[in-house]
Structure 1
Amino acid sequence: MKNPKSLLAAMVVAGASMASSFASAADIFELEVLDNSAHFGSTFAKDNSGQSFSDRFVFEVTNVPHDLDAIVSSIGRTAGMGLNITGLNVYQNDGSLVASGTSTQTGATDVWTVSTDNLALGSYYLGVSGQMAGDTGGSFGGAVMLAPVPEPATYGMLLGGLGLLGFMARRRKGIK
């Protein structure tokens, strides 16, 4: 080692650049959807006050279109502890916005919900964004529910069956 001061300076610069990557990196997680529902969340280390985060939770809609409802929340002893959620949205895999969530509660406890109807077959993700409120660390958790949308043929068969029942009842009444 010819110049240990240069090596030390390089290590300090590399460490500082890695420390600032917290705010710009988006963590991507695969949602394990079981029987049309799943849970998700993230935990963040202490000493990150003011840092922002953006997490993606990827899922697939297969076979038939689905309606989606999701909720996410975080809790702290006060509004200045833990983290603040600033968004919950549904996106297509290419990044285009499908549905924006709404905040239903802020402060020591943050709660966000999002709903969308008739998601077509394909890849989607839930985007959760926020900012660390204090140096205590923090976490958020949520749940998502996907409900299959009946195909139009299902309604046609239902109406046809009801019509057939009505016809049979009318015919029996005429025979007596």
Structure 2
Amino acid sequence: MFNLEIKMITLSKVPALLLMSTVFATGTAQADVLDLSGLVGNANLYSLHNIVVGNNSIGGGIAAAGNISVSSHSVGTGAYGNYSVIAGNNFNYSNGSLAGGYYAGGTATISSNINLPNTPASAAPAMSFASTSSEVVKTSSAIGALAATGNARILNPYAPQQVTLSSGAGGAKSVEVFNMTASQFASINNLQSTLDSSITKSLIFNVSGNASWGNMGMGVLGGYNVLFNFTDATSVNFNGIQVLGSVLAPNALISGGNGGITGTVVAGDWNSTLTLGNKAFVASDVAGFVSAVPEPETYAMLLAGLGLVGFAARRRKNKAAAA
């Protein structure tokens, strides 16, 4: 009798426990790994709204939830597979070349002097602008909430400034986070570093406020995996500057020219003649960062949990009917 009672209690609790584990599984987030390029399908430039580019080149593919207008521009490939351009709405292209295929959810207007690949893509890519844009905003906010681990020592409190980057308490880390205002960064004319490059590989700069940068030397950042995160900016302008790193500014219009950005760019809107390289921000383990994108294992756990809940419920029902 004692054993039977234990079995009945255990069986009655199984569905509830499995359901609880399933609920917790759906809320579990992928911890620590920051993969900006993977989040936007390896696009070189991703915009939550519109893209306007001209008179320069982009090393990889581009994608925008709204309209894309390109003139006198060459665009590489690699966005969500082999796409050069993915436009959620209209795509207008004049005078340039595409290395891969293109897709437009609205109307595609391509001039006759465009150099296209032999078989341009036409099918809709396997992606969702609504989902991707939502995750991009959440990711920027999560990065912006990180506490600084490194120090940006300002040696001269008056512009122009000399700033030295160094590790904070606890010594060198594989990823160092620096929190600065856009105006502080804009006034730098001599950026130096005492970081141990044998340990520190990635640098994240959380930059608050709207930015207008120009004539800034970033050579010291050349050997690192760098991300500039503008969580709250609505306007970011780069003019006459080579930005050595990737840029995440999901709420901002990025503009400027006479320079370039070497990495992945995510913008609210893009209207610029800047050259874009295709050196993606390398996926990195970042202490304290929690991604909003669930792990594949989470979905597997959810399905398995629901299956076991159903099995246990049917078993109880059959036993009750047989009694």
Q: Which has the higher contact order (CA 8 A, sep 6+)?
A: 1
**Structure-1-length-normalised TM-score:** 0.32
TM-score, length basis structure 2: 0.20
Q: Which has the higher strand share?
A: 1
